Structure formats: C-alpha cells, structure tokens
Amino acid sequence: MPVFSRVRDGVLILTVDGDYTANELRRVGFSALEADDAPPKVPVVLDLSGAAGLASKSPAELATTGAIFGAYRDRLTGIAVVASSAVSDLFDADSAFASEAGVRVAVCSSHADAREWLEGGR
C-alpha cells in the first residue's frame, strides 16, 4: 500500500509513494481522521512528491481525490499539497481537486513550505 498517514505536531500528513488509487487514499485518510487521537480540527499535508502518474490523472480522478477531503471539510483547516511544479495546476485553488475538497488548498514545493502556508492560515 503506497499511502501512509501520521499526525505530527497537530498536522495530518498523508504521503503517497508510487502508484495509488483514490480508494487507497480514501481508506488511509478516513482511518486517520477517524482515529481516537485525531485532532478535531486539523490541517493536512498531502505529500504527492513521490506519487507516480499524477500528470495522467483525469479531471474526474482529481475531483474524486478532492471529494475524499470534502467529506471531512468541516474538520479540515486547509490542505497543502506537496507536488512538483509540473503538476501544480492540478491542485491549485481553481482545480477540480480544490473545488471538491471545499477548503483552502495550496500547492507547495516542500514540507517546510506546506507547514509555513498552513500555519499562516490557522
């Protein structure tokens, strides 16, 4: 399973490594958000820097991925997506992903940038 989660310093970090499906991301994300120790309100770092095939994802697939987070939008304070600049438009504020997520979304080039953006919006 190439999707992993952990909560670190009050931030939910979802890391994707290699090929993944929306169902894998949904299962891991929902499990992390439903865990007993999950914060009631949580910022998310979605690390897609190791994900394969992002550029070939269809708008519908990206919308489905955003909808995973949209199911918990009342608990999320924002999503910082760590991804290469080559695919940043797939996750920017005007994307199908952001529209379905229903929370603030930013594309960042590193974990440090992601955390800085999330902390600025808390």
pTM above 0.85, yes or no: yes
Q: What is the pLDDT of residue 26?
A: 93
> What six digits make up the tokens of 107?
């594309």
Domain extents in the chain? 3-120
CA–CA separation, 16 and 27 (whole Å): 13
Overall CATH class of domain 3-120:
alpha beta
Question: Which residue intervals of 54-122 are DSSP H helices?
Answer: 59-70, 96-101, 111-120
CA dist list (Å): 71 to 6, 23, 26, 74, 83: 19, 14, 10, 8, 22
Question: pLDDT tens, 8-54?
Answer: 999 999 999 998 888 899 999 999 999 988 889 999 999 999 999 88
- Cβ count near 94 (within 10 Å): 9
